[in-house]
Structure formats: C-alpha cells, structure tokens
C-alpha cells in the first residue's frame, strides 16, 4: 500500500476530491499553508493499493492546473527595518506529490 500526500491549490480541491470519491478512493482533506506564499492550499492524504497509484496520478493531472500568480512579498530594507512590498510572479504547480510506502494500515 502507498500513502499519497498531494498538495494542491484550493481552487482544484473540490473537483479532485469529488472525482476521487466517485471512483471509490478514500481521501482525507487537510487545510494547509504554503511556506513561501503563506497562502492557503490543500493537502490530501490518499491511501491506496500500489497498483492504483498511476490512476490517482491521472485523476490529479486532470483536475489540477498550473497557474501563474502575481503576489506581493514584503522585503526589509536596512536601516530602520522598513518593509517594502514588491510584486513577484510565481508559477504554482498543479500538484506536489509525495508517495510513501505504508508499513501498516490498521482500522480499529
């Protein structure tokens, strides 16, 4: 069994979760925050049999889009610690996946 940790954009999460559950996959949705943009994103935990991993990847590819976003980061200027916002173009990927081996899967 594998545990897929999928970090996706909030906009893509509802349709992705719907597609996964429609196809009988189990999923747990967590609210998360990206360290760089400090904006909300969604982390999904999906526990599946090894042979289903490719199918999950396809469902994620279908639902998750890469987006260019312009954000404003704050930079500190010395001296006096003044914060100046500057615009930054960032390409946020469709999804970041971590696929881990599951040692044990127990239901109590």
Contact residues for ligand 2BA, defined by CB under 6 A: 7, 21, 24, 26-28, 34-37, 41, 45-47, 90-93, 96, 107
Nearer to ligand 2BA, 54 or 79 (CB): 54
> In whole angstroms, what is the distance from residue 21 CA to residue 43 CA?
16
Q: Closest Cα partner for 17 from 104, 101, 95? A: 95
Q: Smallest distance, Å, CB 46 to ligand 2BA?
A: 5
How many other CB atoms sit within 10 Å of the CB of residue 93? 13
CB 65 within 8 A of CB 94: yes
CB nearer to ligand 2BA: pick between 53 and 96 = 96
Query: Whose Cβ is closer to ligand 2BA: residue 22's or residue 81's?
Result: 22
- Cβ 43 to ligand 2BA shortest distance, Å: 8
Across 2-37, b (16+ Cβ under 10 Å) vs e yields bebebbbbeebbeebbebbeeeebebebeeeeeeee
Task: Select 36 or 84, whichever has its Cβ closest to ligand 2BA.
Answer: 36
Q: Which residue is nearest to ligand 2BA (CB)?
A: 34
């Amino acid at each position: 069994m594998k545990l897929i940790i999928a970090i996706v954009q909030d906009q893509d999460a509802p349709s992705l979760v719907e597609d996964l559950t429609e196809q009988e996959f189990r999923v747990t949705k967590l609210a998360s925050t990206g360290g760089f943009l400090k904006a909300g994103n969604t982390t999904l935990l999906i526990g599946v049999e090894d042979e289903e991993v490719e199918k999950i990847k396809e469902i994620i590819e279908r639902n998750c889009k890469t987006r260019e976003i312009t954000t404003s980061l704050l930079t500190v200027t010395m001296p006096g610690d003044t914060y100046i916002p500057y615009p930054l173009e960032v390409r946020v990927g469709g999804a970041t996946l971590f696929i881990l081996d599951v040692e044990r899967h127990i239901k109590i």
